[in-house]
Chains A and B, each alone.
Chain A
């Protein structure tokens, strides 16, 4: 069977080129006079030999195989696949930003430094923290940076026994992975019957070895933890800090601030909450905000302002050091800055309100046909289960694949782990009611099919460019490159 789109290598025709370069206008020299002879490349890399037109056609045809926010509904839970404003793309490409070298003298970078400085202030205000660093480039990178800050904070106090990071059993897998990278031990805290942190279990585990509790609030079930004040008190009394995983911050803008609910460190995902595009998996940006007592530990350099002059400050003896080659994903931060300036405080609040409204509407309309483990008002997302459908041999994976036939990207599936056959649905605020109704109708039709013609669901998808792929074969005999 013919491949959907041949590999770019398969389009290669020896001798064809896709570039033009000016003639070399400096004196020619034999490269063997300049380079170590034993390091001169003997065999050229087998890169494709194609024309510019070949390249454009290839990648355009590839792009058509993708589902994206701009193609259709993308209710992927915990990923906040909201619309990516087009102005963001334009302003991030302004030559004054795009052509700025990170090691240009500071006086040549005043506009960029001002933007970084102001965005840090905005994010501090939004989260209720005292300072923010924009250096982490992804959510996981932010988590890692935040945990390093916590470790450094305890050490600076002379408290060396705090080696434990508490994570709820509903947490994202990155939480324990980041904690392990920061050299910490992980202890899991159970959820209670309402899907919130079990206070009893937390009390039992909050001892004097605890460095921090990492919490996503609203949690991965889309539920705001009503006991947050008690949780903060328990952790703080044990001498630990409270870490806010901002994966779900899209629910709370202008409504409640992590800094006001006891959190000491927070990370945000600008590619979720602040509309910067996901880019097919990156680049993102994962700023970290802290309370005043952790400011000395922030990564270097810090952007500082003195009499309307901005500069980079490296003189921070208690800093955890550097976490990125330069200053983070600047061009992504430009997009988030533009988004905040466009919406303002009221606009951000309205965005969160609509995100929560949309999620509750979907939950209310779907909870008859699908099992809802925690039946209460949700925040910006919720988790349903294919428990009813499982009886007919239809699993969450099948429902996800069947949704593809409706031109809808499936929800996050099989997560959180504490719900059997989970589907985590996050519509975001940028979808209108008609889109939500279309999705509801699709989900209800699939529920009906699961009853009446389950094979229609279990054999899905039927209309995608490619059908289900053999992941077992891919993992058993990995083919990771052409040739």
Chain B
């Protein structure tokens, strides 16, 4: 199971990459493995606003649909349109081309409660 060192992780098995007030979000290798072959990704619309914990995307396999929750409050400024044509990118490259969306942080938003790679490794191992 791949867990890149330079990312932060949530308890919902998402990764976030923070660059200034922009945050890129995707799901982890663990999560994509659990879900199986992703057949469809329902992405949010640009400029849609979310509070922390809101479902902002849905990942569908043949027999399941999983909500993806906003790790923080913010506005969607970019979505991965490539997933519309090729949802399997979430399986094959979850940390790279399989990213889901970029959020712009709400002004007074503070990021807390995220795990680093080591913490997530332990967390995921316990879930298995």
Contacts and interface: CB of A to CB of B under 8 A. Distances in A.
Interface of A: 414, 471-472, 475-476
B88 interface: yes
15 contacts: A414-B63, A471-B62, A472-B37, A472-B39, A472-B61, A472-B62, A475-B39, A475-B40, A475-B60, A475-B62, A476-B37, A476-B39, A476-B40, A476-B87, A476-B88
Contacts of A475: 39-40, 60, 62
Cβ-closest 5 pairs across A and B? A475-B39, A472-B37, A476-B39, A471-B62, A475-B62
A471 B61 CA distance: 10
A472 B90 CA distance: 14
Contacts of B63: 414
Interface string B69-82: 00000000000000
A236 B44 CA distance: 43
A414 B40 CA distance: 22
Given A475-B40, A475-B60, A476-B87, 12 more contacts: A414-B63, A471-B62, A472-B37, A472-B39, A472-B61, A472-B62, A475-B39, A475-B62, A476-B37, A476-B39, A476-B40, A476-B88
Contacts of B88: 476
Interface string B51-67: 00000000011110000
A476 B63 CA distance: 13
Contacts of A472: 37, 39, 61-62
Nearest to A414: B63
A471 B87 CA distance: 15
Interface of A is mostly: helix
Interface residues of B, number: 9
Nearest to B39: A475
A476 B39 CA distance: 5
Contacts of B39: 472, 475-476
Contacts of A471: 62
A414 B63 CA distance: 11
Contacts of A476: 37, 39-40, 87-88
Interface in B38-53: 39-40
Contacts of B37: 472, 476
Nearest to B36: A472
Contacts of A414: 63
Nearest to B88: A476
A471 B39 CA distance: 9
Interface in B68-119: 87-88
A28 to B, nearest CB: 52
A334 to B, nearest CB: 37
Contacts of B87: 476
A475 B62 CA distance: 7
A476 B61 CA distance: 9
A471 B37 CA distance: 10
Nearest to B86: A476
A113 B60 CA distance: 47
B105 to A, nearest CB: 31
A243 B55 CA distance: 31
B86 to A, nearest CB: 8
Q: Which of B40, B62, B63 has the most CB of A within 10 A?
A: B62
A105 to B, nearest CB: 50
Nearest to A473: B39
Contacts of B61: 472
A470 B93 CA distance: 22
A476 B60 CA distance: 10
B6 to A, nearest CB: 31
Nearest to B62: A471
Contacts of B60: 475
B50 to A, nearest CB: 21
B112 to A, nearest CB: 30
Nearest to B87: A476
B35 to A, nearest CB: 12
A310 B109 CA distance: 69
Contacts of B62: 471-472, 475
A474 to B, nearest CB: 8
B102 to A, nearest CB: 24
A368 B37 CA distance: 35
A319 B1 CA distance: 58
B60 to A, nearest CB: 7
A184 to B, nearest CB: 20
A78 B61 CA distance: 25
A472 B61 CA distance: 8
